[in-house]
């Protein structure tokens, strides 16, 4: 059967990665978390920073020293930065707080978009992010855009963080979600927006299974045209 590209974009903590992983698993496709790449570049900047202030110009000049790779272990995607496993290190509060600032930098976006496009060259991928359906793969056969209220998203992220041992107050999580939304929506280079041909789903009152059912149904319709 012909393979396609599935793009899942949307706001922070709408469950994009959960859905992308489930879809990839169901279809035998590769899941690629583009946010992990922005997070890895941010971590690289933080590792070289003084007092956690990232030298943005220096970071842009050092992009050629950044090598990001993914490895797939069972169903877990591991992220490697210059050979070091940073799967957990890219999910810290420090990275959460800086990543959207780093993601506003046009050279960083160009650098990562090229790599994302290479990863999708042979199709058969599900990629989640902010600009996958608009910039990275404008011709993706299937595009989704997930939205939900900031409070619901913050509750979700708060619970996820506690489960993985990251302790941050609910109010701070909500603040971070809102701040990142604002930075992602208002940045000059390719701001977060729904692709015209993306299917928008408000996941606020839906379970993971309900959202998955909607996505899978749409994907199956497209795949049936291509047979
Ligand atoms: O999982 P969560 O929604 O918290 O975010 P993520 O997918 O890990 O992405 C972290 C940040 O990277 C986002 O808030 C964006 O600022 C940036 N990003 C982006 O600009 N473009 C992408 N394709 C993916 C992430």
* Alpha-carbon distance values, 177 to 34, 90, 148, 157, 185 (Å): 18, 16, 12, 9, 12
d(CA 190, CA 186): 9
pLDDT of residue 16: 96
Residue to substitute in 40, 130, 137, 184 for testing ligand 1 pocket (most ligand atoms within 8 angstroms of CB): 130
In 3D space, the residue among 139, 135, 110, 124 whose CA is nearest the CA of residue 38 turns out to be: 110
Residue to substitute in 10, 13, 38 for testing ligand 1 pocket (most ligand atoms within 8 angstroms of CB): 38
Tokens of 217: 């149904």
What is the per-residue pLDDT across 94-142, written as a single tens digit (0 to 9) for each?
Answer: 999 999 999 999 999 999 999 999 999 999 999 999 999 999 999 999 9
pLDDT of residue 10: 95
pTM for this structure? 0.95
d(CA 114, CA 136): 8
Ligand 1 contacts CB of residue 112 (under 6 A)? no
Ligand 1 contacts CB of residue 100 (under 6 A)? yes
Ligand 1 contacts CB of residue 99 (under 6 A)? yes
Residues 84-120 as b or e (16 or more Cβ within 10 Å = b) = eebbebbbbeebbbbbbbbbbbeebbebbbebbeebb
Tokens of 222: 């497209």
Q: Rounded to the nearest whole angstrom, what is the distance from the C-alpha of residue 20 to the centroid of ligand 1?
A: 14
What is the per-residue pLDDT across 160-192, written as a single tens digit (0 to 9) for each?
Answer: 999 989 999 999 999 999 999 999 999 998 899
């Amino acid at each position: 059967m012909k393979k396609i590209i599935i793009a899942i974009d949307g706001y922070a903590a709408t469950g994009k990665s959960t859905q992308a992983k489930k879809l990839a698993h169901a279809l035998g496709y590769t899941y690629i978390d583009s946010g992990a790449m922005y997070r890895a570049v941010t971590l690289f900047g933080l590792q070289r920073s003084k007092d956690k202030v990232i030298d943005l110009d220096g970071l842009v000049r050092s992009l050629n020293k950044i090598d990001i790779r993914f490895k797939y272990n069972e169903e877990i995607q591991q992220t490697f930065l210059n050979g070091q496993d940073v799967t957990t290190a890219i999910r810290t509060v420090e990275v959460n707080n800086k990543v959207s600032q780093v993601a506003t930098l046009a050279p960083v976006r160009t650098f990562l978009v090229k790599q994302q496009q290479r990863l999708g060259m042979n199709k058969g991928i599900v990629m989640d992010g902010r600009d996958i359906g608009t910039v990275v793969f404008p011709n993706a056969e299937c595009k989704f855009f997930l939205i939900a209220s900031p409070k619901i998203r913050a509750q979700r992220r708060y619970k996820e963080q506690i489960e993985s041992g990251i302790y941050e107050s609910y109010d701070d999580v909500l603040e971070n979600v809102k701040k990142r939304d604002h930075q992602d929506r208002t940045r000059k280079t390719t701001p977060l927006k729904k692709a015209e041909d993306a299917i928008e789903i408000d996941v606020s009152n839906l379970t993971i299974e309900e959202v998955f059912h909607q996505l899978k149904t749409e994907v199956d319709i497209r795949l049936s045209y291509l047979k």
